[in-house]
A = this chain, B = another copy of it.
């Protein structure tokens, strides 16, 4: 995992918030992230594809839904970075979590 490439993955609001939500909940499907972030489906799919392409997440199709999780082989330092960010920036994605609970 090239650190610069990893940080490019985190350097977009849609991707970063998606990752933080996925890390917080353990997993999230596309329709959840659409609601949480209030964005269009192609946009979230394209950003998730980017994260998948670089080994940051894996996808898991269950029927019509596709669930995303952090990649289990993500290096420990990268997991630590995500977790550190998640625990210390709650206000950054709190509203997305709140929106998600309306489902």
List B contacts of A84 (CB < 8 A). Answer: 77, 80-81, 84
Interface 9-residue window, one of A5-13, A29-37, A57-65: A5-13
> With contacts A81-B81, A84-B84 known, is A89 near B3, CB below 8 A?
yes
Give how many copies assemble into the complex: 2
A contact patch SS: helix
| Closest chain B CB from A34 CB (angstroms) | 19
Q: How far is the CA of A12 from the CA of B76 in the complex (A)?
A: 22
Query: A96 on the interface (CB 8 Å rule)?
Result: no
| In the A-B complex, the 8 residue pairs with the closest CB atoms | A77-B88, A7-B10, A11-B11, A8-B11, A7-B11, A3-B89, A4-B13, A4-B16
